[in-house]
């Protein structure tokens, strides 16, 4: 049974690309909310 290496690599790369594109956004939003929370605590 012949498995196309390019096709299988693409199948494997898709989640990685998704993670690489989503992770920075998630971390950025988490940091933003964390900073806002810290500011609120500092004011109170």
pLDDT in tens, 1-44: 566 656 666 666 677 878 888 999 999 999 999 999 999 999 97
How confident is the model at residue 25, as a pLDDT? 94
Domain ranges (residues) in the chain = 15-43
How confident is the model at residue 16, as a pLDDT? 82
How confident is the model at residue 42, as a pLDDT? 93
Cite the DSSP H helix spans in the chain: 5-43
How confident is the model at residue 29, as a pLDDT? 96
Please give the structure tokens belonging to residue 26.
């998630």
How confident is the model at residue 19, as a pLDDT? 81
Q: How many Å apart are CA 29 and CA 43, to the nearest integer?
A: 21
């Amino acid at each position: 049974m012949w498995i196309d290496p390019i096709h299988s690599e693409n199948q494997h790369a898709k989640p990685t690309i998704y993670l690489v594109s989503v992770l920075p956004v998630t971390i950025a939003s988490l940091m933003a909310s964390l900073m806002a929370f810290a500011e609120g605590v500092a004011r109170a």
